[in-house]
Amino acid sequence: MNIFGSQNRREDSDFIVTPWTVEGEVDYNKLVERFGTSIIDDKLMERFVRAAGEDHHLLRRRIFFSHRDLDKVLDDWENGRGFFLYTGRGPSGPMHIGHIIPFYFTKWLQDRFKANIYIQLTDDEKFLEESRGLTLEDTLKWSYENTLDIIAVGLDPDKTFIFQNTEYIKNMYPIALKVARKINFSWVRAVFGFTHESNIGMIFYPALQIVPALFEKKRCLIPAAIDQDPYWRIQRDIAESLGYYKTAAIHSKFLPPLTGPVGKMSASRPESAIYLNDDEKTVRKKIWVAYSGGQPTVELHRKLGGNPEVDVAFQWLKFFFEPDDNKIKKLEEDYRMGKILSGEMKTLLIEKVTAFLEEHQAKREEAKELLHLYKYDGELAREMWKKIHV
């Protein structure tokens, strides 16, 4: 399937971002222009932090760097109307660290703004993507597995609803129909690059990803990686004609793959990512061989210094694992000056990642008893699970 939208063709540029592909080295300023979103400027960030009553390093470091209508979300918040949150997960396999970071940020948003969260598990979408070769049993199983990781993040069970499309479809279908009638084939073809060979499930699917942004008659704020934005663009074009608000969005960059700055972490390259169920030995091994900004020998490194811009260990610390700005600044300077070696940077990251995973995995165990609190019905998933594994 040709998945490159009309404004997003490989031959026109050095990188591509679509909901299904990230290729090349992403230039985020160019991407914002292509997608028609806005950079979160200092003023908006300060206003946001003031409303939240607390800063977050994912904002401060511009990992969540782009938005749509975030100012309007803050207007609604300030005048008491409030807003709700929506995000999701395509259950195609085990989750890695890049997948879970937006959920931690979403939890922070929920805590600060006391907002409801809807989390969509798109088992249908991952089944329909033929190139993945997954059965419906597979995507049901991954829905269950991924839900445990999402619950482990600690979202407020009284304000969080997790649902799986194949199960919840009955409740979404009436809205999906209203959405679908407003979208013609030429439009989704232009946005998503569908062709005559695309299966008709994929062509209908965008309606289903749009529906949760219409779950409440309030403004919706979607925290997600920027590759999902094409769906929100369509939602915004049709929402008001259906009597809803245009959705707002806050977009993140991609955590760079361990293998270097090109492309994104993917299941087809397990060495590019750290999975939430990786054990300590695996973490150590993967980080140890990660792409580095260091010099070939210690002598040269001491003399010439390293390049933190491309050093994956440093980038991961900056992206998420070291929230202390002073420490990050010092690490960056010392690395550049050759005072810190690549191995030392990696050791630091290994410690942080290991501690993070240890805590996450313990919470994931507890999550098994908590599924019902999130109204994750999962009946179908559990039945399937038994058939496959018992």
Residue 89 or 264 with smaller CB distance to ligand TRP: 89
Residue 109 or 345 with smaller CB distance to ligand TRP: 109
Residue 20 or 320 with smaller CB distance to ligand TRP: 20
The residues binding ligand TRP (CB under 6 A) are 19, 86-90, 120, 122, 125, 209, 222, 224, 228
Residue 243 to residues 140, 216, 237, 240, Cα–Cα distance (Å): 33, 11, 12, 5
Three-state SS at 150: helix
- To the nearest whole angstrom, how small is the minimum distance from the Cβ of residue 207 to ligand TRP? 12
> Computed from CA positions of residues 177, 180, 181, 182, in that sequence, does the dihedral angle turn out positive or negative?
positive
Q: Which tokens is 73 given? A: 């979300």
The CA distance from 266 to 268, in Å, is 5
- To the nearest whole angstrom, how small is the minimum distance from the Cβ of residue 100 to ligand TRP? 12
Q: Which tokens is 174 given? A: 């009436």
- To the nearest whole angstrom, how small is the minimum distance from the Cβ of residue 166 to ligand TRP? 13
The CA distance from 390 to 388, in Å, is 6
- To the nearest whole angstrom, how small is the minimum distance from the Cβ of residue 352 to ligand TRP? 25
- To the nearest whole angstrom, how small is the minimum distance from the Cβ of residue 228 to ligand TRP? 5
Listed in sequence order, the DSSP H helices in the chain are 28-35, 42-52, 57-60, 70-78, 97-113, 123-128, 136-152, 165-180, 185-192, 200-210, 229-238, 280-288, 298-304, 312-316, 325-336, 342-367, 379-389
Q: Among all chains, which residue has been given the structure tokens 């993040």?
A: 153
Residue 36 or 279 with smaller CB distance to ligand TRP: 36
Let me know if 388 is exposed, middle or buried by CB neighbors in 10 A (0-12, 13-18, 19+).
exposed
Closest-CA residue to 98 (of 287, 255, 258): 255
- To the nearest whole angstrom, how small is the minimum distance from the Cβ of residue 72 to ligand TRP? 19
Residue 90 or 294 with smaller CB distance to ligand TRP: 90
Residue 142 or 316 with smaller CB distance to ligand TRP: 142
- To the nearest whole angstrom, how small is the minimum distance from the Cβ of residue 366 to ligand TRP? 25
- To the nearest whole angstrom, how small is the minimum distance from the Cβ of residue 205 to ligand TRP? 9
Residues in the chain: 390
Residue 19 or 306 with smaller CB distance to ligand TRP: 19
Closest-CA residue to 121 (of 191, 255, 212): 212
The CA distance from 110 to 106, in Å, is 6
Residue/partner pairs of 133-140 with CB below 8 Å, 24 or more apart: 134/92, 136/166, 137/384, 137/387, 137/388, 139/91, 139/92, 140/164, 140/166, 140/380, 140/381, 140/384, 140/385
- Beta strands 22-23 and 64-68, pairing class: unpaired
- To the nearest whole angstrom, how small is the minimum distance from the Cβ of residue 232 to ligand TRP? 9
Residue 208 or 350 with smaller CB distance to ligand TRP: 208
Residue 32 or 119 with smaller CB distance to ligand TRP: 119
Phi, psi angle pair for 361, to nearest 5°: -65, -35
- To the nearest whole angstrom, how small is the minimum distance from the Cβ of residue 3 to ligand TRP? 12
Residue 211 or 317 with smaller CB distance to ligand TRP: 211
